[in-house]
Amino acid sequence: MKKEARYLFPSDYMADPSVHVFNDRIYIYPSHDWECANVENDNGDQYVMKDSHVLSTDDPMHGEVIDHGKALDIADIPWAGRQLWDSDVAEKDGKYYLYFPLKDKTDIFRIGVAVGDRPEGPFIPQPDPIRGSYSIDIAVLKEGEDYYMYFGGIWGGQLQRYKDNKALEIPELPEGDQPALPSRVVKLSKDMLQFAEEPRPVLVVDENGEPLKANNPHRFFEASWVHKYNGKYYFSYSTGDTHMLCYAVGDNPYGPFTYQGVILTPVVGWTTHHSIVEYKGKWYLFHHDSVPSGGKSWLRSLKVVELEYDENGKIITIDGGGEW
């Protein structure tokens, strides 16, 4: 379905939006794209993000979008190496916790935490990354008194370098009929600064309960997000090199999640990364594409479109406008 869409912040290149409603206002936490001379590759060296901003609005389709300025800068993070990629924020007891993936000084992605008193920041980073953390693409779900972090991305996101939460000497990326490499989920500690347990795999299964295979175009690649609708947990994600947003549905935050369909067909640009949020009785899909930059995959622009469900709770597929 072709729907009205809006570019949220045309004055700068931002991507990977994580979106939440705080204090009856939409807050958007994107990564910040920069022009670079790096050659595009599967490690993502062309994505050189150095800082992140916070945007907000009270009308996502037509209202003013405010840039609250820089929320976090790589120069302020003690353990930083390079590439401050996508982030997400959770609120607890009046504090706001910004979780971000960043390569350390050995070029390994870790997950850090920065803490603020307001949803727009500023956020003060902790001196060290979360113990036992790895990979990219963070999303945090609040469920009662508990908070669950979803993370992981293959290729440049380095998820294939880990098995059972231990680093591998030789990366293992499933192929063919092997089960696809899954995202991860972990409950956060009460102070929101560490993992409370070992991360678990997030299984996306078919109608027979079998994990999707590595050669399935709808398998997980990166960009986890979870929202609830009619009491069900909707786990959505990017398929990466097949350029779609897909989703699966489960009965609890850990899954398994049964594959349901495509949310967004390919966009202009290589990556698709998103969040789904309800605001004032309507649902919205926040994502990005590379139309304004003329198709440069490393210069992406934030976009929003209304999302709808059918009478059975299935998400109605949205046309992304790209071709692959």
Q: Catalytic positions, please? A: 16, 222
Question: What is the Cα–Cα distance from 223 to 273, expressed in whole angstroms?
Answer: 6
Secondary structure element (H or E) that encloses residue 257, with its range: strand 257-264
Please give the Cα distance from 90 to 77 (Å, whole number).
19
Per-residue exposure over 6-16, b if at least 16 CB sit within 10 Å of its own CB, e if not: bebbeeebbbb
Return the residue matching tokens 């795999």: 201
- Residue 179: beta bridge partners? 213
Tell me the C-alpha distance between 95 and 32, whole Å: 24
Sign of the C-alpha dihedral, residues 258, 263, 266, 269?
negative
Nearest residue to 297 via CA among 273, 264, 261 = 273
